Amino acid sequence: MNEVGINKITRRDFLQKGLVFGAGAAGLAAGYAAVPDVFARAVYGAKRDGVMNDRVLVMIQLAGGADGLQTVIPLQDSRLRTLRPRLSAAADQALPMNAQLGLNRNLRGIKALWDQGKVAVVNGVGYPRPSFSHFDSIRVWETGDPTRRQVEGWLGKTIAKNYDSQGHPLVGCACGTTSVPGALRDLEATLTVVNGQSSFRFSSADAERAMGAIYNGTPGIYGALFDTAVYTARDTVARLRTAREAYVPKAQYSDNARLVYSSRNQLGAALQLAAELIISGAGAKILHVTLGGWDTHDQQLARHDSLMAYLDQAVTAFHADLGAYGMADRVLVATWSEFGRRPQETANGGTDHGTASSMLLVGDTVKGGVYGQMPSLTALDRTGNLAYTVDFRSVYQEILASHLKVDAREVLDQSFERTPFIA
Amino acid sequence: MAARTPSAGGPTRRSVLITALVTFAGVATARVLGVRDLSTGFTLRPRSAPAMDPMDDAMDMAMDMPESEVIPAEMAPEPMATASAPPLQAAATASPAPVRATTPTRTPAPTARPTSTPAAVAAMPPIAPPRVSGFDWASPLESEKARVAHLLRRATFGATDAELDAAQADGYARTVERLVETPPAEPQAPAAIAADANARIGIGDLQAWWTDWMLRSPTPFAEKMTLFWHGHFVSDYRKSQTNPMYWQNRTWRQFSLGKLADMLHRVTIDQAMLRYLDLATSTGRNPNENYARELMEIFTMGAGTFSEDDVKAGAKALAGWRLPRATESVRTGVFDPSRAYAGTLTFLGKTGTFDTTSVIDRVLAQDVTAAYIARQVAEHFISPFVADAYVARIAARFRSSGYQTRTLMREVFLSPEFTSPDAYRALVKGPTEFMVSAAKAIGSASLGRAIAAAGTGLGQNLFDPPSVGGWGDNAAWVSASTMLARANFVSTALGATRTLPPSTSAVARHLDGVLGPETARELATTSDDRRRWLVILSSPEFQLK
């Protein structure tokens, strides 16, 4: 009866159901011994020679499907006016990058970094046979696999292949959230999730001690998951205790930008936490933050613009903070979203789910400029959407190979034409 | 992808811990008596394998028991394979510390295990990573009492002592009937709304109003179903505003166990939903695809079961609803034929004219629909690993009943799979479930506001799901951040509760007497009620259902 009713659990099930966090605990104490000093600059437990560098990656997920055409705006295309009688007003106030393209009017800080050659824009990023489902498309981007065969997240896989995350659980960390994003999942990667800096402490010493004692060798299918979560919590609490003393923000992080709908995202706070983890030398290598609210089926002109301001403030403060600590040359910030939006606007002044979009990459290691062909607004596909010009995995490849300097093919399973935005 | 070796000793369902209750010094606790290998039925394996180490550790807490009372794994008789076996009578006296082992067969504990002294905490970092168990929980579900407790953990929010006693007196079958047949008790309106139906309610007040009712409702199954539908037919207060979310909550409760067709109709024209998925602004001339897509993808059929043309046709067919005006007394959407689409459409393989009712009928005529809903329910209430054959079985019953949700739920609770060993502790309590069940366990009905306030930190802010897909489940609830927040909630709850019930019977009542070795060890170190409750509510055992 049970044989029929409830399946035996396979390794694949564990990944698909998110029962991850690398449970193999053997030899971990040795990994710890390799960290002599949490304040040492860039101490990572590298599994391999050659990946012991000080580079850090911060991925910002724009959840909900962020419109590309109101982010990186075609300035000269009359077709945009036809498709978007109202939304094309964004072109009038755009901040010109060149004769053809402008950044959203609210990306003022990022535009200033663009002027310094620290911003790359990749246009037309997408993948073949696009999905219009948020969740399906998020999974494609998270796993780096449009065929939907992979279950590991591309960042999790990068961590598992290259870094000793079990000895150093902050190597991969999601900031400002309570759960592990799919991109970071891998059975063999240990990850930390820190919702908020100030709340990340045990309210009673007795509870802290008891949790440490109880969550060890917990039975059951969730046992390793529980134990690892509690272990990383205790470890991170201890590290943040010291980090607080080593870090004072040197930029103004503000979460006060006005949004049409109030946002649940504290992007500024999340990036400030990321900065703290990087600057204090806590061993952070790959960080993930999320800003939601981009599913603009209505009132897109105002909603998208207000989110742009929010993004701009947070990213600019983050970059300035790192710069003040002399670390802006180590950290790459990249935005991603599950899809762009349809070129044709709807009656509510919004847009439906679309396909290709533009990605922003910010950091001192970036070779500033425009990459990728902006898709044609006249040759839309059968669903009325943009035809992608750059495979998103080509962007991943550049991040992995040129910024983090790891073997990209091992993560992506194939090679792509280079999008050379890293200097 | 290159094959990689699975993590050594990763968790599997191949073996289970065998525990039994031990009573000493008037304090019931559990002892680990052995392990059972699931792949070979109930055969006990010899203890020489490295994977057996946790059990050796567990022997540490054998206290001062005579050796004859300690049953080595290889000798344990089969009936000992459940925690519902009669408690062993231990001759031990209370000597919580120092713990020492008395079993002659004990081998040294593995290294890299954190010590539990405050000095070790002060010395952090480094903190040693945890070791891996490799064992599963021993299911006590042959016992009817354990089955009833299991049912109440899943169908409701755990139980107060009184609720558990009453249900166990009724037995399993009668309890199921009572749960599914009792009409939902309706909560009183929040104070602000009671005074003025149009007064704006704050989100904190709205959340506390609901969590308070979860704690006090005489029909907590209805609250569990309302929460289930809240995570299924998603809207949020940010886009839909608090008052429409309040009315939606009342509607979901009212329709929670009725016919799916009625529920879907109410979902479609619900004011909060009309706002959240933009159907209120969709017209036949300018259709908005948002609701039509999610109706099929998330609410009823699943991704990949319909075409983009179905989305476009569905959007046209469903258009015509607008929000009620302040002068209108209705709380649902109002249909305006001038906004609707009058022409012929092809939707899910059928050509003709469509309205909201015929769209819902067409969705319910798809073979995938019953299976999609049945899988959501089965994964939520039984196990994330339910087999397709099982889903097909309950889906067939669901469909032939005319999509009666009550029938589906009864079918689930009465199916052998629901109480099979593989279902035991196969689900992680969601944040709200965890907090409400903790409050009920300690008999504290006044924690509603504390529960509402802690939701965000634990990963579930009520009326505010993270996306149209709702919240995750099980593993998605577990992270460094959420486990910390759960521990801190326990401290808050205990701090706010002046008088705690005796912890003596809590292990048996709330944890079925089935404990892992470290929880058992930790409980054995103290007889102080407050500290024992801290361990019980913080334990992995209590996070599971």
Distance (Å) from the C-alpha of residue B243 to the closest C-alpha of chain A?
16
pLDDT in tens, B29-54: 344 443 443 333 332 333 333 333 33
Region label for B52, one of left (φ > 0), alpha (ψ between -120 and 50) or beta (otherwise): alpha
- A35 reaches B (C-beta below 8 A): yes
- The answer to whether the Cβ–Cβ distance between A199 and B475 falls below 8 Å is no
Nearest CB to A2; choose among B384, B417, B538: B417
- The answer to whether the Cβ–Cβ distance between B461 and A353 falls below 8 Å is no
For residue A13, the chain B residues in CB contact (below 8 A) are: 384-385
Which whole number is the average pLDDT over B72-87? Answer: 34
Integer angstrom CA distances of residue B267 from A10, B11, B280, B321, B367: 37, 40, 13, 12, 21
pLDDT in tens, B443-457: 999 999 999 999 989
- The answer to whether the Cβ–Cβ distance between B288 and A346 falls below 8 Å is yes
| Chain B, nearest residue to A24 by Cα | B7
Helices (H) and strands (E) in chain B, counts: 25, 7
Residues A157, A167: Cα–Cα separation, whole Å: 16
For residue B126, the chain A residues in CB contact (below 8 A) are: 29, 32-33, 35, 235
pLDDT in tens, B326-371: 888 899 999 999 999 999 999 999 999 999 999 999 999 999 999 9
pLDDT at A348: 87
A with B: how many residue pairs have Cβ under 8 Å apart?
347
pLDDT in tens, B195-253: 988 899 999 999 999 999 999 999 999 999 999 999 999 999 988 999 999 999 999 99
- Tell whether ipTM is more than 0.90: no
pLDDT at A39: 24
- The answer to whether the Cβ–Cβ distance between A200 and B484 falls below 8 Å is yes
- The answer to whether the Cβ–Cβ distance between B534 and A210 falls below 8 Å is yes
Residues A289, A175: Cα–Cα separation, whole Å: 5
- The answer to whether the Cβ–Cβ distance between A264 and B17 falls below 8 Å is no
pLDDT at A46: 53
- With both helix axes pointing from N to C terminus, report the angle between B144-155 and B172-181 in degrees, rounded to the nearest 10: 20
Distance (Å) from the C-alpha of residue B218 to the closest C-alpha of chain A?
32
Residues A130, A136: Cα–Cα separation, whole Å: 9
- The answer to whether the Cβ–Cβ distance between A297 and B288 falls below 8 Å is yes
Residues ≥6 apart with Cβ < 8 Å to B427: B154, B380, B381, B382, B383, B384, B473, B474, B544, B545
Amino acid in the structure at residue A246: A
- Which range has the top average pLDDT, B69-73, B84-88, B290-294? B290-294
Residues A84, A67: Cα–Cα separation, whole Å: 12
Burial class (CB in 10 A: 0-12, 13-18, 19+), A3: exposed
Is pLDDT above 70 for B119? Answer: no
| Chain B, nearest residue to A226 by Cα | B478
Residues A132, A390: Cα–Cα separation, whole Å: 18
Helices (H) and strands (E) in chain A, counts: 14, 12
pLDDT in tens, A83-124: 999 999 999 999 999 999 999 999 999 999 999 999 999 999
- A261 reaches B (C-beta below 8 A): yes
Residues B30, B62: Cα–Cα separation, whole Å: 10
CB B286, CB B316: distance < 8 Å: no
Residues 297-316 of A with CB under 8 A from B: 297-298
Integer angstrom CA distances of residue A316 from A67, A97, A254, A268, B416: 20, 18, 11, 10, 58
Which whole number is the average pLDDT over B458-482? Answer: 91
Nearest CB to B130; choose among A2, A135, A228: A228
Could you tell me whether strands B350-352 and A101-103 are parallel, antiparallel, or unpaired per DSSP bridges?
Answer: unpaired
Residues 392-421 of A with CB under 8 A from B: 413
pLDDT in tens, A227-261: 988 988 998 898 888 888 888 889 888 766 555 55
For residue B56, the chain A residues in CB contact (below 8 A) are: none
pLDDT at B348: 98
Residues B419, B417: Cα–Cα separation, whole Å: 5
Buried b (16+ CB within 10 A) or exposed e, B200-216: ebebebbbbbbbbbbbe
Nearest to A155 by CA among A272, A54, A58, A229: A58
pLDDT at A17: 59
Residues ≥6 apart with Cβ < 8 Å to A400: A158, A406, A407, A408, A411, A412
Nearest CB to B239; choose among A217, A233, A261: A261
Residues ≥6 apart with Cβ < 8 Å to B34: B17, B18, B44, B55, B71, B72, B73, B74, B76, B80
In order, the DSSP letters of B522-533 are HHHT---HHHHH
